[in-house]
Amino acid sequence: MRINFSQKTKSIVAGRSGYLCSYPGCPTPLTIGPAREDDGVSKTGEVAHIYSAAKEGPRGQGNLTKAQLKSVENAIWLCAYHATLVDTNRGTYYPPAVLVSYKGLHEASIARKHRGIYAPLGWLHELRITGGSLFKTPAKIRFGQVSFLAGGNESGRSSLCEWLTAISDPTWGLRRWRNRYGDDQPLCFEVTLFNPAKITVGVQVLESAKIRFHLNGQEVPFNPISTRFFTITEVNKGRVADHEKEAWNTWSDLQRISSAIHIDATALENILPDVGNVERSVQKIWIEEPQQVSSEMSDGDISRSQLMVKLKHQGFSLHFSQLSSSEQALVLIEIGIALASFSANYVPTVLVLDGFSVFDDRRRAEWVDYFSSANHLFQTIIEVVSEGGKLDLHLRPSWQAVSLVGSHRFVEIHQFGETE
């Protein structure tokens, strides 16, 4: 039994794509225009299934429900030629994750044009690991609008995100991965991006601790393709570098956050007015300068400016450091959203949320829906702490998830919904 799209779904999908074929670089993308007769419209595009209409169809049906198979999320608008192409060879060359990337990239491009934003467009598509001492290689991860990385504490979740950031910021992203003498397999990986052409950035850490970059196979001095990563983590002393641990005690909250999420303190301070505009938990966040420094009080706390937060459900303001750790997490996530929302107007942007327990509880679905919204021009990667890489979540067609199973050297990467 085939599960077909309704007329309404078809017209929504066509409209969201601007009636342009979603296949990157399609030479004849326009699928609507005047017909031969004076008063007619000619439509040549097709709504294709990402997961198949029939069980035995190309790409299969994953574990999707009937409602999901019929949904706008499971549909991609293509010209007639590309609608046929993606289904040839049972869709082998175009697995669901690839079509999800094409659709995400295309809709992001249309959303930008529609809003009058003409900025470089990009999409993080795939990470391929070919060497290194952490994972069973080769291994690959595909990314969607929202991607989950589920794994235990020794499973290399954070390492994966560091490597991604290394394509733009190798000094930071590879700080733990250089000078690892004795590794019999130096780190080597590739990141595939669409901008909108497909680009592969290769990163190789040599035994001499030098780093080599490749762009589509050619050696280059550095990666010139810009993608901005914001990695938001809990703010605690355990996460700062050893040489900063002593200074930590004297830092203000702003300095601590700035260090933990690796954002310039001025940029962080200047984004705060935007944080309260996000329609979630934080009503307002601001910096209160110290009123006066009394000589009777011990220095330290008093001379520092305070980061003040007013949460919607509380109605009164507190110092950031007085919030519970889950409240702090909400504040940090909203700071991340504000940073990524702004950045995505100008450069391709990925928000990485590392190990927050709010994604373990019942509010997770609500949050993730929020990140899936097309209002967001950035992609989100959510790291979920989970022993054995189990993910208690009903995945939607446009989400990607991988589980990381095992520990050091033997970690296996499994992409949900893919059998290869």
Nearer CB in complex with Zn ion: 101/159: 101
What is the DSSP-derived secondary structure letter of residue 5? Answer: P
Binding piece for Zn ion, criterion CB under 5 A, among 24-32, 102-110, 113-121, 368-376: 24-32
| 26 lines the binding site for Zn ion (CB under 5 A) | yes
- Say whether residue 14 binds Zn ion (CB under 5 A): no
Q: Which residues touch 398 (CB under 8 Å, ≥6 apart)?
A: 73, 100, 103, 104, 144, 145, 146, 372
Report the nearest approach of Zn ion to the CB of residue 29 (Å).
6
Nearest approach, Cβ of 42 to Zn ion (angstroms)?
A: 16
Q: Assign 410 to helix, strand or coil.
A: coil
- Closest to Zn ion by CB, 17 or 386: 17
Q: Closest distance between Zn ion and the C-beta of residue 16, in Å?
A: 16
Strand pairing class (211-215; 218-220): antiparallel
Contacts (CB under 5 A) with Zn ion, residues 166-205: none
Strand order in the sheet with 282-288: 282-288, 306-311, 317-319
Q: What are the CA-CA distances from residue 302 to residues 252, 265, 289, 292, 298 (Å)?
A: 10, 20, 10, 8, 7
Q: How many residues sit close enough to Zn ion to count as binding (CB under 5 A)?
A: 5
Within 354-383, the residues that bind Zn ion by CB under 5 A are none
The residue among 5 and 23 lying less far from Zn ion, judged by its C-beta, is 23
Among 20-28, 128-136, 162-170, 328-336, the segment contacting Zn ion (CB under 5 A): 20-28
Closer CB to Zn ion, 79 or 268, in the complex: 79
Shortest approach of Zn ion to residue 28 CB, angstroms? 6
Which residues are CB-contacts of 143 (< 8 A; sequence separation ≥ 6)?
Answer: 101, 124, 125, 126, 127, 379, 381, 400
Q: Counting contacts by CB under 5 A, is residue 21 touching Zn ion?
A: yes
**Cβ nearer to Zn ion, comparing 23 with 163:** 23
Half-sphere exposure of 204 (CA within 13 A, CB side): 16
Cis amide linkage into residue 138, ω under 30° from 0: yes
Site string for Zn ion, 265-284 (x = CB under 5 A): --------------------
Distance CA 275, CA 282 (A): 7
Ramachandran quadrant class, 369 (left: phi over 0; alpha: psi -120 to 50; beta: rest): alpha
**28 vs 314 by CB, closer to Zn ion:** 28
CB 378 within 8 A of CB 392: no
Q: Tokens in use for 152?
A: 């235990």
Would you give the binding string for Zn ion spanning residues 63-102, x where CB under 5 A is met?
----------------x--x--------------------
Looking at the Cβ atoms of 82 and 228, the one nearer to Zn ion is 82
Contacts with Zn ion by CB under 5 A lie at 21, 23, 26, 79, 82
